[in-house]
A and B are shown apart, each in its own frame.
Chain A
């Protein structure tokens, strides 16, 4: 792998490895609208990387480029030292990238457990026939997958709603179930689209703790988009700031916080 040499250890003792994902000169257009203009940044292995910016800055588009949902007109996406050709989202998922959605996208009629089990799809090898006649292999695989899911349920402390249909859950819990489903895929890179949107303070604190714990316990690299500046600054290692499709800042939370462009664009100066 490229760049593995320059790994370092953070102040709180986590190891940040080499470049996991490298976005090089990404430009994304919808017809005449340039949603993303020539943006480059990288995501290192083991870090929590945030993408922030005001409404319409192109954050979600960027996340969709990373997840392979959009193919940029210009620029290259490098993943684990290799240039990634245009791909279908399911192919990206197989590479080890999982995501949650801004507007929760769960199967409302299914139980929490079943929803999380769908996250194991990429780990199921038995064919449809083997599944249907429930051969030894299929059964063993189901047990293994269920065990993995139960560990995640335990980790996210959602045992009490294991059998509850998702439609009956409050918003904050649905967000947690989405995170659980993404984790079930055992991703190398976890993409979170506004994980804290619409949450109250307590739910935000819980979610922050889970994100930190996921990163810490499983060593999962996290890239997240978030509106809530406070949360982002608290939990991220590095932050990319976007405005009108351009990158206007990139660095540690304290660097970004002191960047005049960022202050002007994001925090606003024109109120006086």
Chain B
């Protein structure tokens, strides 16, 4: 991507700001709800605020190349601080506000940040603790001075004070010269990735990365000035940086900041964003709330909801994708929109959503379809920090819950022999800060970056499907691909199933352990008058096993549709007599199954699954919450699941 594509004068985010002031000067750029009222700033006003802060930073002694740590909840002032830093050649380093002191100390030390701009006292306290651990800050700037009055202010100021110093400054010419000297290759932002192993890495993204990606992705979805977003996801996450700074600056749309994290849903309803991003968790929570409230609704309302939602599930997604739908169905959908979908979308705050995205983890197909059937254009994207978010995304009209879309504009994809996905794009990161080894092992000299995920590109549609983490993908005895997480995720989409562990690497067929979800299954048992005295008893109840068997059969049918993964169908399974638990070392603290540990610990069960026996007796050592150890004894039923022959004629993707 060369400079001409981006426009001659666009060399950095501050250049985009100047362009927006010229183009949209009087239109709202930022809103924040404070004291119960939406306060708003136009592009021209925001630019003045940013200038004042940038000059204030100069007065405080900020120099080109300084790193400026920024942390707090999403507030316009913090976004301005980032752009102000860029204006004078400094690098903003947004940090997670809920990070522990050690993590913050590490990031401050590693980036060598000299300044920090933070939200409130809590963050200031963390910085003070971090400095005790060795980080050395030149000056701390806070937004909310509550509780800070008696702190030592020799190296601390409020945001407003710094701006006042800036407004009184006579170094405007210096600042303008610094802004003018920015180039597309300068660092735009540095973001720390958590990383599952080792220390976090500082991903350096250039102005070119950010601006080119923002341009491409904004054009992909026809984002424009006049769009509204709600900025509520952590500022340290690359997505928020791209949505709330990159794309907002490129298109000139308005960034709205909630009043507090707790008011997010209310603020969402008030703003009614047209462009919305949320992890699957947010959609799940909203759906659950709706369902619970519908359970309490009156008979007529409940009937209307059930009736029209059934209709929406049938034709809604097709209507959204622009496929042909009969006139009668269209009219019924229209009626449903008036009576149910419209009011419901309004309650959810999603009435105006033109483009909605979910990403981060797999979203359950029912949840995804629920929103699509209401007429909300919810799509999926696949990305990572190193790619400046976008690797693939779903174009309008080609949205499915099981793919992550086609390569974003400008992105090249490659799948290597092991099935790992590689990409190369204008957004490919510059380097990991002060870490050439990791940079070299992640990004090859030609610019290809390994994602660490295994996937394949679907024939015919060109959509990418992510199967699993590359390191978990193995081969079965006959050489077929074994992707346990792919199958487990499908199982876990059923509310009755809390966890699933699939075995089969190096074997001729797959088997599975299942953990029931005590809440969901217990609830079901209560409603059906099924008495049980323990988790173990409930887990082995014939009717529970029957339900689980149906789920497994359904998953097999769905897995079998995929010729590459058909071998991963589950032949036999059992329902575990205890919940997998981090205290017993079976899971990590973040609730990820430790496959190897589980396989070893329940070796007898795995053997029984493969040797054809119909029941198995087992004794398991467990650790109680107070640290005592005990033994669980159980006889577990082993069930055979219905498997669809792998040699069956290939089913074309006909969903």
Complex contact B263–A160 (CB within 8 A):
yes
Complex contact B36–A159 (CB within 8 A):
yes
B259: which of A147, A155, A159, A216 is its contact (CB, 8 Å)? A159
Asked whether A150 is an interface residue with its Cβ less than 8 Å from the other chain, the reply is yes
B147: which of A13, A150, A160, A213 is its contact (CB, 8 Å)? A213
Main secondary structure of the interface of B (DSSP, over half): loop
Complex contact A12–B150 (CB within 8 A):
yes
Residue of A nearest to B259 (CB): A159
Complex contact B36–A157 (CB within 8 A):
no
Collect the chain A residues with CB atoms within 8 Å of residue B650's CB: none
0 or 1 for each of A159-182: is its CB under 8 Å from B? (1 = yes): 110100000000000000000000
B146: which of A12, A13, A217 is its contact (CB, 8 Å)? A217
Known A-B contacts A150-B35, A162-B36; A157 and B149 likewise in contact (beta carbons under 8 Å): no
Q: A157 CA to B36 CA in the complex, in Å?
A: 12
Complex contact B147–A157 (CB within 8 A):
no
Q: A147 CA to B35 CA in the complex, in Å?
A: 7
Shortest distance in angstroms between A89's beta carbon and chain B's nearest beta carbon? 30
Q: A147 CA to B33 CA in the complex, in Å?
A: 14
Complex contact A155–B146 (CB within 8 A):
yes
Complex contact B260–A13 (CB within 8 A):
no
Residue of B nearest to A14 (CB): B150
A157: which of B35, B150, B260, B266 is its contact (CB, 8 Å)? B260
Asked whether B34 is an interface residue with its Cβ less than 8 Å from the other chain, the reply is yes
0 or 1 for each of B276-295: is its CB under 8 Å from A? (1 = yes): 00000000000000000000
Residue of B nearest to A147 (CB): B35
Collect the chain B residues with CB atoms within 8 Å of residue A154's CB: 34-35
Task: Tell me the residues in window 181-216 of chain A with beta carbons closer than 8 Å to chain B beta carbons.
Answer: 213, 216
Q: A14 CA to B150 CA in the complex, in Å?
A: 9
Complex contact A153–B36 (CB within 8 A):
yes
Collect the chain B residues with CB atoms within 8 Å of residue A137's CB: none
Residue of B nearest to A146 (CB): B36
Q: How large is the interface on B (under 10, 10 to 19, 20 to 34, 35 or more residues)?
A: 10 to 19
Complex contact A160–B266 (CB within 8 A):
yes
Known A-B contacts A150-B35, A154-B34; A159 and B262 likewise in contact (beta carbons under 8 Å): yes
Q: A31 CA to B146 CA in the complex, in Å?
A: 48
Shortest distance in angstroms between A38's beta carbon and chain B's nearest beta carbon? 39
Complex contact A213–B146 (CB within 8 A):
yes
Task: Tell me the residues in window 1-41 of chain B with beta carbons closer than 8 Å to chain A beta carbons.
Answer: 33-37
0 or 1 for each of B118-148: is its CB under 8 Å from A? (1 = yes): 0000000000000000000000000000110
Shortest distance in angstroms between B292's beta carbon and chain A's nearest beta carbon? 15
Known A-B contacts A159-B259, A159-B260, A160-B260; A216 and B35 likewise in contact (beta carbons under 8 Å): no
Residue of B nearest to A113 (CB): B36
Complex contact B266–A216 (CB within 8 A):
no
Shortest distance in angstroms between A204's beta carbon and chain B's nearest beta carbon? 18
Q: A145 CA to B463 CA in the complex, in Å?
A: 58
Collect the chain B residues with CB atoms within 8 Å of residue A213's CB: 146-147
Asked whether A140 is an interface residue with its Cβ less than 8 Å from the other chain, the reply is no
Known A-B contacts A160-B262, A160-B263, A160-B266; A216 and B147 likewise in contact (beta carbons under 8 Å): yes
Residue of B nearest to A217 (CB): B146
Q: A192 CA to B266 CA in the complex, in Å?
A: 32
Q: A217 CA to B263 CA in the complex, in Å?
A: 24
Shortest distance in angstroms between B395's beta carbon and chain A's nearest beta carbon? 37
Q: A55 CA to B36 CA in the complex, in Å?
A: 42
Shortest distance in angstroms between A245's beta carbon and chain B's nearest beta carbon? 38
Collect the chain B residues with CB atoms within 8 Å of residue A157's CB: 260
Q: A216 CA to B34 CA in the complex, in Å?
A: 22
Task: Tell me the residues in window 1-26 of chain A with beta carbons closer than 8 Å to chain B beta carbons.
Answer: 12-14
Q: A23 CA to B506 CA in the complex, in Å?
A: 85
Shortest distance in angstroms between B102's beta carbon and chain A's nearest beta carbon? 23
Complex contact B149–A159 (CB within 8 A):
no
Q: A13 CA to B147 CA in the complex, in Å?
A: 12
Collect the chain B residues with CB atoms within 8 Å of residue A159's CB: 33, 36, 259-260, 262-263
Shortest distance in angstroms between A155's beta carbon and chain B's nearest beta carbon? 7
Complex contact B263–A216 (CB within 8 A):
no
0 or 1 for each of B91-113: is its CB under 8 Å from A? (1 = yes): 00000000000000000000000
Task: Tell me the residues in window 213-241 of chain A with beta carbons closer than 8 Å to chain B beta carbons.
Answer: 213, 216-217
Q: A157 CA to B33 CA in the complex, in Å?
A: 13
Asked whether A94 is an interface residue with its Cβ less than 8 Å from the other chain, the reply is no
Residue of B nearest to A153 (CB): B36
Shortest distance in angstroms between A179's beta carbon and chain B's nearest beta carbon? 16
Asked whether A151 is an interface residue with its Cβ less than 8 Å from the other chain, the reply is yes
Shortest distance in angstroms between A112's beta carbon and chain B's nearest beta carbon? 11
Task: Tell me the residues in window 328-361 of chain B with beta carbons closer than 8 Å to chain A beta carbons.
Answer: none
Collect the chain A residues with CB atoms within 8 Å of residue B262's CB: 159-160
Collect the chain B residues with CB atoms within 8 Å of residue A217's CB: 146-147, 149
Complex contact A13–B259 (CB within 8 A):
no
Q: A159-B33, A159-B262 are in contact. List 6 more A-B contacts (CB 8 A).
A: A12-B150, A153-B36, A154-B34, A160-B263, A213-B147, A217-B146
Per CB-CB distance, the 3 closest pairs between chain A and chain B, nearest first, are: A160-B262, A150-B35, A13-B150
